[in-house]
Amino acid sequence: MSDERDSMSPTRIGLGVLWPAFWTGFPIKMAFALVFFAMDLMHFENRLGLGFLMLLASPVTVFAVPIITMGLESHIGEGAGIALLFLLSIPIDIWALGLVGRTYFLERFRKEPPEGLGVTLWWKSAVVGAVFLPLVWFIVGTVTSTSISMAHSLMELELLKGVPVAERISLELSLWGSVSTGVLIVLLLIGVSLVGRIIRSTAETARPVSDSYQNIVKRWDLMRVPADQSLMLTSLTLGGVVLSMLFWASLPVTTPHPHECCKKPDVKAQAPFKPLEALNKDEKMIAQLEVQVDALEKQKAEAEKDKGKAKGKKAGSEASAPAPKKP
């Protein structure tokens, strides 16, 4: 068992601490991020949305983001909410790294977690991120621009000039995207390995645990349970209520509304269709039309009778009139 702990790779150690710490602190930080977005305190570039989530999720970027923004002249976003968000992320990351680190030391290393483990892991990881992440940003950006130009030059060859536009775009994207993604994954694994080496060096200075395995399991289970559960539940509930009220109170202010010159005409809602009423109405209308048709037919018949009588009278008067005398 000791040989297995000693043979653990730094990458595995780094992922074993950073991944749970990500899920521990990320929901809390995202709640603050949504409130700041609703309050219109920060704006991010659309193409850097995924990068923003990655930076916010990692506890090693508190120093790297200012360096990337100012040193490499990369415009990530604007607004006072960005600085405020990363300042609020510092205690959240310290708490998450401390919680995950203590349980990891007991479970994997069988070492007693030292005092202030969360602060120690946080500032060491932040220093590594401040040096390594700007380097990753620069390398990946350079590789991406170079691979894009090479893919474009490759598609200009005589052999590939007859490729349709849609297939051409797909091929170019596959060529430079696979290269950039591969370089990014390799560099991220190297960065995780560096954090794992820091965690392992910190564990080497800690004293071994003398308890049995059952007592160790009991200890790391109790570490995840707060001492005052009712206080923690009340605090989380009140915090959620306050954040929800801030979010919904701020959201209508920043919701776009149409200008007065571009308002759409009011459209009245149509009444719901009722089949029985429509059938009754149609039956009444048909009955009225039948009455009108009968009345018109009667009028037409009477008119024809009157016309026939008038013709008979005229013929009788012409027959009874005396013939004119011849001179």
User: Which are the contacts of 24, defined by CB distance < 8 A and separation ≥ 6?
Assistant: 95, 96, 99, 100
Give residue-wise pLDDT tens across range 51-60. Answer: 565 556 567 7
Amino acid at 326: K
- Please check whether residue 132 lies inside any domain of the structure: yes
- Provide the domain count of the chain: 1
Query: What was the pLDDT predicted at 280?
Result: 82
- Structural domain includes residue 314: no
- Look at residue 284 and tell me if it is in a domain: no
Helices (H), the chain: 2-6, 10-38, 49-57, 64-66, 80-104, 117-155, 165-204, 213-223, 229-254, 275-320
Q: For the segment 158-209, what is each residue's pLDDT rounded down to a tens digit? A: 776 777 777 778 888 888 888 888 998 998 899 889 988 988 888 888 888 8
**pLDDT number for residue 255:** 57
Please report whether residue 301 resides in a domain.
Answer: no
Percent of the chain with pLDDT over 90: 1
Mean pLDDT, the chain, rounded, equals 78
The answer to the question of residue 240 being in a domain is no
Residue with more model confidence, 128 or 275: 128
Task: Identify the domain containing residue 26 by its residue range.
Answer: 2-225
Does residue 238 belong to any structural domain of this protein? no
The b/e string for 55-66 (b: 16+ C-beta within 10 A; e otherwise) is bbbbbbbbbbbe
For residues 235 and 241, give the distance between their C-alpha atoms in angstroms, rounded to a whole number: 10
pTM, to two decimals:
0.66
Query: What does the alpha-carbon distance between residue 68 and residue 133 come to, in Å, rounded to a whole number?
Result: 8
pLDDT tens for 16-63 read: 888 888 888 888 888 888 888 778 777 766 555 545 655 565 677 777
Residue 86 lies in a domain: yes
In angstroms, how far is CA 82 from the centroid of its own chain?
Answer: 18
Q: Determine, yes or no, domain membership for 304.
A: no
DSSP line for 138-160: HHHHHHHHHHHHHHHHHHTSGGG
Query: Which tens digits make up the pLDDT trace of 58-101?
Result: 677 777 777 777 766 666 667 777 778 778 888 888 888 888 88
Q: What is the pLDDT of residues 257-294, one digit of tens each?
A: 666 666 677 777 777 777 788 788 888 888 888 888 88
Instruction: Assess whether pLDDT exceeds 80 at residue 111.
Output: yes
pLDDT grade for 1, boundaries at 50, 70 and 90: very low
Q: What is the pLDDT of residue 327?
A: 47
